[in-house]
Amino acid sequence: MHSFRCALTALGLVLLGSICRAESVVHSKEHDFIVRTLVSDLDHPWGMAFVSADEILVTERPGILNLISAGFTKRRAIRGLPPIAQAGQGGLLDVAVHPDFEKNRLIYISYAASGADGEGTEVARGRLLGDRLEDVEVIFRALPKSGGGRHFGSRLLFAPDGYLYITLGDRGKRPQAQALSTHPGSIIRVHDDGRVPEGNPFVSDPLARPEIYTYGNRNVQGISVNPVSGRVWAHEHGPQGGDEINIIEAGTNYGWPIITYGKNYGVGTKIGEGTHKEGMAQPVHQWTPSIAPSGMAFYDANRFPRWQGSLFVGSLKFSLLARLSVDGDRVIDEERLLTDLYGRIRDVRVGPDGFVYLLTDEANGLLLRLEPVAP
């Protein structure tokens, strides 16, 4: 399963095997494909973003940001990152590239950071110059910080409206998701420099955090734009059952922990008031039992023409890739791929080349690429 790895390391540069081993053919409803292992020996990789057609940034949760280039044969560790806290599920999380990266060289990272009261999710940006981040600045801090190592989120998305969306978790403190005075348990919308958009739904509420765009979210680890409608979709972890996919609308309350399809871990007792309540949104799709979703991407490319419009979601619990068929605002079918073949799938992206890329959240994590089999 692992690609060949050269034993040559210098100045943070790792040379990887230029010949990547192709796996056996995988059969699915719409396309047969192979899974190619591009990079191995990643320490719990979490997020990825393409900076060009043949360069990709990959985060490792312990605090390493990699630039993988030259046809996946070279790997550099990027220097100049802000201090990153290792706290349970926290660490270096997602990475995103500014829409005008070719001009401004800006990249964005989300991560757990320490403060006087514990840890919390932060977002910083900097200019990628060679193998270093320059002009690094923190543009968002989720407040309050708190103890415990759960539910940091966090995905980053530049949406068609030009704003940066930041997904958060409730930090394991359920009431925060219903409190507009705190960031945890919400989705954030800001300008690319962290300023608050005038059109955010709670900017006129003096008791609310103005960056909040939605709330009642438990732990959001996937966000993507539907290429047909242009609307933002996101998924979040439920407790024992009740993982959700939601369409993100300004000011919407998604219910956690007042309504949920999940139960309390272990004992299976009821959480909140049930599954429905007036003024709280219902999910587009939910999984019970939970699949523990992480990473997701709509497919809108030409390599797999019959996958056009499909929504791909990685599963941590069942070590699989879910392909959801979407019709408008509805999920109408689900196909499960790669079950128990590669481990916990942490991130899913569609590359500029039209292939599907995956990260596996393992101590020896992999960067994988799905390639169609010629008919």
Number of domains in the chain: 1
Lowest mean pLDDT among 15-24, 127-136, 150-159, 305-314: 15-24
Question: What confidence tens digit (pLDDT) does each residue in 182-225 have?
Answer: 999 999 999 999 999 999 999 999 999 999 999 999 999 999 99
Segment 8-21 mean pLDDT: 40
Report if residue 77 sits inside a domain.
Answer: yes
Amino acid at 363: A
The reported pLDDT for the residue numbered 2 is: 35
Confidence (pTM)? 0.94
Segment 242-254 mean pLDDT: 98
The reported pLDDT for the residue numbered 22 is: 53
Closest residue by Cα to residue 263 from 280, 247, 286: 286
Report if residue 9 sits inside a domain.
Answer: no
> How far apart are the C-alpha atoms of 368 and 356, rounded to whole Å?
8
Kindly indicate the confidence band of residue 374, based on its pLDDT and cuts at 50, 70 and 90.
confident
Q: Is the pLDDT of residue 57 over 90?
A: yes
Segment 145-157 mean pLDDT: 97
Report if residue 322 sits inside a domain.
Answer: yes
Q: Is 151 a catalytic residue?
A: yes
Amino acid at 351: G
Q: Is the pLDDT of residue 17 over 80?
A: no
Segment 292-303 mean pLDDT: 97
Kindly write down the DSSP assignment for every residue of 45-107, as one continuous string.
Answer: EEEEEEEETTEEEEEETTTEEEEEETTTTEEEEPB-PPP----TT-SEEEEEE-TTHHHH-EE
Report if residue 109 sits inside a domain.
Answer: yes
What's the mean pLDDT when you consider all of the chain? 94
Report if residue 284 sits inside a domain.
Answer: yes
Tell me the percentage of the chain whose pLDDT exceeds 90.
92
Q: Which residue segment(s) compose the domain that 23 sits in? A: 15-372
The reported pLDDT for the residue numbered 260 is: 98
Report if residue 148 sits inside a domain.
Answer: yes
> Which residue of the set 31, 44, 98, 151 is catalytic?
151
Query: Both tokens of residue 105?
Result: 């060289």
The reported pLDDT for the residue numbered 24 is: 84
Report if residue 59 sits inside a domain.
Answer: yes
Tell me the percentage of the chain whose pLDDT exceeds 70.
94
The reported pLDDT for the residue numbered 261 is: 98
Q: What is the CATH number of the domain that holds 159?
A: 2.120.10.30
Cα 7 to its chain centre, rounded Å, is 31
Segment 147-169 mean pLDDT: 97
Report if residue 5 sits inside a domain.
Answer: no
